[in-house]
Amino acid sequence: MSGGETELLQWARGPGFVLAIAVFVFGVVLRLFEILGLGRQADLSEAREKKRGSGWQTILSRSFNFSVFNPHTALNYIVGYVFHLGLFACILLLIPHIELIRGVLGFGWPGLPTPLVDAIAVVTLLAMLVKLVDRVTSPVKRLLSTWGDYLAWLLTFLPLLSGYLAYHHLLWPYPTMLALHILSAELLLALLPFTRLMHAFTLFFARWYNGEIFSRKGVAS
């Protein structure tokens, strides 16, 4: 067949997508069962405060923790926010992505004009590069980093980069680049549950648990 690129695109849009979603759902459910199945020992002590909802409050409060004025951590926080928010905007506010979600889940929401998302993508890509350089050059971060961290970075970076290249018709013809973009996103989906990217789910449990436990433990001040 003369259209290798077309076949690639069709595989990515059809069987590839089904496979990626299947692995993703399987993996996420497996990991959630595994993690939640571990349970926690019942805390028999009396709670410090009778206040409820402390866990939920912590989920929120830790999402808006601005330590930007501390020069040692400013970079981490600012670039971290820029990258995460940019990533959300690129994934959830680009109209073709919303149409994909509408196609799968049956509902959608308004998107942003494409050039705006394009600008956000550039900023996000730069933020990710800053993060990588920081990870490699900072001795402490380098020591703490495992190959899993670099894998997670790469899995996130590739869909962004390929999406940007596809939109601007760079490197390869658009259908080829679009196929690679979809495939890279499918790779991200399939590997998400088995890498550090699982934090997209677990961070909420962790924050909720920390909030709950801290409201019970310790001495009231």
- Under the rule (CB under 8 A), what is the footprint of other proteins? 1-3, 5-7, 9-10, 13-15, 17-19, 21-34, 36-39, 95-97, 99-100, 102-104, 111-115, 169, 173-175, 178
- Residue spans of alpha helices (H) in 95-146: 95-105, 114-137, 139-144
Q: CB of 117: closest distance to other proteins in angstroms?
A: 9
Which of 24, 31, 12 lies closest to 189 in space, CA to CA? 24
**CB count in 10 Å sphere of residue 29:** 11
- The radius of gyration computed from the CA coordinates of the chain, to the nearest angstrom, equals 21
- Smallest gap from Cβ 11 to other proteins, in A, equals 10
| Minimum CB distance to other proteins smaller for 12 or for 127 | 12
Cβ 181 to other proteins, closest distance in Å?
10
**Cβ nearer to other proteins, comparing 97 with 141:** 97
Shortest CB 160 distance to other proteins, Å: 16
Token pair in block for residue 63 = 């999402």
The nearer residue to other proteins, 22 or 68, going by C-beta atoms, is 22
- What is the smallest separation between the CB atom of 110 and other proteins, expressed in angstroms? 8
Toward other proteins, which CB reaches closer, 142 or 169?
169
Shortest CB 26 distance to other proteins, Å: 4
**81, 87 in Cβ contact below 8 A?**
no
> Closer to other proteins at the Cβ: 127 or 190?
190
73-88: burial string, b at 16+ Cβ within 10 Å, e else = eeebeebebbbeebbe
| H-type alpha helices, the chain | 4-13, 15-38, 54-61, 74-93, 95-105, 114-137, 139-144, 147-167, 174-191, 199-216
> CB-wise, 6 or 70, nearer to other proteins?
6
